[in-house]
Amino acid sequence: MEEVNNLMQGFAVAMTLPNLAYMLIGVTLGVLIGVLPGLGGANGIAILLPLTFTMNPTSAIIMLSCIYWGALFGGAITSILFNIPGEPWSVATTFDGYPMAQQGRAAQALTAAFTSSFVGALFAVVLITFLAPVLAKFALKFGPAEFFAVQLLTFCSFVGMSKEPAAKVIAAMMLGFALAAVGMDTVTGQLRMTYGYPELLKGFDFLIAVIGLFGIGEILLTMEEGLAFKGKSAKLNLRVVLQTWAELPRQWLNFLRSTAVGCWMGITPGGATPASFMSYGMAQRMSKDPASFGKGNIEGVVAPETAAHAAGTSALLPMLTLGIPGSPTAAVLLGGLMIWGLQPGPMLFVEHKDFVWGLIASMYLGNIVGLVVVLTTVPFWAAFLRIPFSVIGPVIVVICAIGAYTVHSSLFDVVMMLVFGVMGYLFKKLKYPLAPLVLALVLGDMAEASFRQSMLLSQGSLSIFWSNPLVGVITGLALLLLLWPLVSAVKGMLLQNSNVKAGSSQ
């Protein structure tokens, strides 16, 4: 009951007139960001974060989180109408969403996508409501060794669970650690990798790096591809919406399965994109008509959208309770909280109770607002996409430059934004993942501080990471995930050899 009482207090915070207005503005901006290829939830929040510096932290985080909800909703519009994924996790939605639009069922596909997104997010927010306080109380018992073990588990999870080659994930993460180490060492006072630039004494600003890596990098790649918008028009009316809603309860098992996959992939650093593909594959395998997938089956729209929203929302659970982001967008929000002087983790639930529960309450309200906004404004967004990208692209670049400049009112930051933009472009061209780099850039200092404190407590002995059952289990699980790609490769080789021997014996 304590969680329910706290949630009611959170609604009192979130339902003030200014915060409701920020929700509407955030969702609208988020849908725009989700609709435009070349942007995304993490990019949009990174670009717009400087605009919230003058706001109080609660209103700012409510607006930014609603940008995220809006981006999750908006990605489905381009996927279904134009066969262009506005977000990476919307790729799986194109498989059946676009064929439905070509068959004249665009309104049904969009209604199913938006409703599925709402259901997935709602389940994830309920999970956060009841699990976050328990996890935070448990985490209050953590010392430096436990915190480093959890951070190590996060890094190793990216290596073991990523669909990218492990070598590329590790390389990106190592670069992130190197960038995080730039500046003055807080323990010894020595300068590290500043190369005579006084602007680097405080290190690379996280926000500048994110705007460059995501915003500019995506725009450069999109400009190279010469993106053009060609698609179907759509208009939602109440009759189609109600008819689709009447059909969706039959998908209850699909909803349940996709929500479970999404929540798991969000809490662990799997992310919304793998969750959407995994749910799509499971829906196809368990469907009564698997051959119809890819030809306009509504199950193929429900599964990825439900999973993506569940994963995107539940990724905030480890960020709020442990200070460990479960996705690139959660990492950007984590950076925002630090800028406002708030340290995510178990003490956040003790020292800033109103803030936390106001944010959780805004998740419920923000998703309701998002569902209403997208259902009523689809024709506008579809028409907006007919603006040439040659007009939209430069506007986004200018917005990025303004956002970077306003952080410290420094042209050096704009130059660094462009440098990171080129780096982001190269990463995408070479198919290196950006999420591990961003994660290491955000958590590098925290992990270093936890490791140093652990070494001081143990007088330099690594045995502290096995000094009690809790830290030992976390460290052991981290090492298992780190070595999982190697274990899988060895297992595959042994299985192949056994098949070859079996074939030769026959």
pLDDT, residue 63, reads 86
> Cα separations (Å) of 351 from 222, 344, 498?
44, 11, 59
pLDDT, residue 1, reads 61
* Cβ contacts of 11 within 8 Å, gap of 6 or more: 361, 364, 365
Beta strands in 168-229 (DSSP E): 183-184, 191-192
Q: Considering only CA atoms, which of 216, 237, 229, 242 is closest in space to residue 381? A: 229
Angle subtended by helix axes 389-408 and 41-48, to nearest 10: 50
d(CA 320, CA 337): 10
The model's pLDDT over 363-407, given as tens digits with 9 standing for 90+, comes to 888 888 888 888 887 777 666 656 676 777 787 788 778 767 766
> Cα separations (Å) of 366 from 67, 73, 360, 496?
9, 11, 10, 50
pLDDT, residue 326, reads 63
Inter-residue contact 275 to 261 (CB < 8 Å)? yes
Both tokens assigned to 126: 């309920």
Both tokens assigned to 471: 């830290």
Q: Please list the ranges in the chain whose pLDDT falls under 70.
A: 1, 36-43, 82-89, 139-140, 161-163, 206-207, 214, 226-237, 268-271, 273-274, 326-328, 381-387, 389, 403, 406-407, 499-506
pLDDT, residue 209, reads 80
pLDDT, residue 236, reads 61
d(CA 54, CA 361): 22
pLDDT, residue 223, reads 76
